[in-house]
Amino acid sequence: MKKPLCIAMLVLIATVVTLVLVWPSSTANDRWDDEAQQLTIERAQPIIRAIDAYRVDHADEPDSLDELVPEYLDELPAPLVGGQAWEYYNTRRSYELTVPSSNPEPPSFLWMMIFGPSFDDRYFVYYKSQDTWGMADL
């Protein structure tokens, strides 16, 4: 009776290890290294200048980044960090330009039971009110 139990445990362990190694991770392409952050800051500069020009012309920031194309920008340059897509928040007093991770949502309960509660919830944020960039863990 002990032999079938050992075999079952070995099969279970092998299955879990295989899942960990081959399971597609939605945050596998997230980059947070210093080089990616610096290049993202450089790519954001035309967007920030376009928002400032929009504010001069309209006395307010745009409601979305789409309002900048094509009058102020030919296209939006993509960020290199995180999920590689901009999020923009106009607070009517200032704005934030944000790049979230590719999947900031917590994993499923089953995933957490098997692999533990690990998920990527980082954001790279430009705070216009402070004219600074920073990492935010939300």
- For residue 57, pLDDT over 90 is answered with yes
- Give mean pLDDT, residues 72-82: 92
Instruction: Give the per-residue pLDDT at 13.
Output: 77
- Residues 81, 36: contact at Cβ < 8 Å? yes
- Give mean pLDDT, residues 67-89: 92
| Cα 133 to Cα 39: distance, rounded to the nearest angstrom | 12
- Give mean pLDDT, residues 94-118: 66
Q: Could you tell me how far CA 105 lies from the centroid of its own chain?
A: 11
Question: What does pTM read for this prediction?
Answer: 0.67
- For residue 133, pLDDT over 80 is answered with yes
Instruction: Give the per-residue pLDDT at 131.
Output: 87
Q: 89 phi and psi, to 5 degrees? A: -125, 115
DSSP designation for 68:
G
Domain ranges of the chain: 31-137
Instruction: Give the per-residue pLDDT at 54.
Output: 96
Q: What's the whole-number average pLDDT of the chain?
A: 78
The SS3 call for residue 47 is helix
Q: Which string of b and e fits 75-89 if b means at least 16 CB within 10 Å?
A: ebbebbbbbbebebe
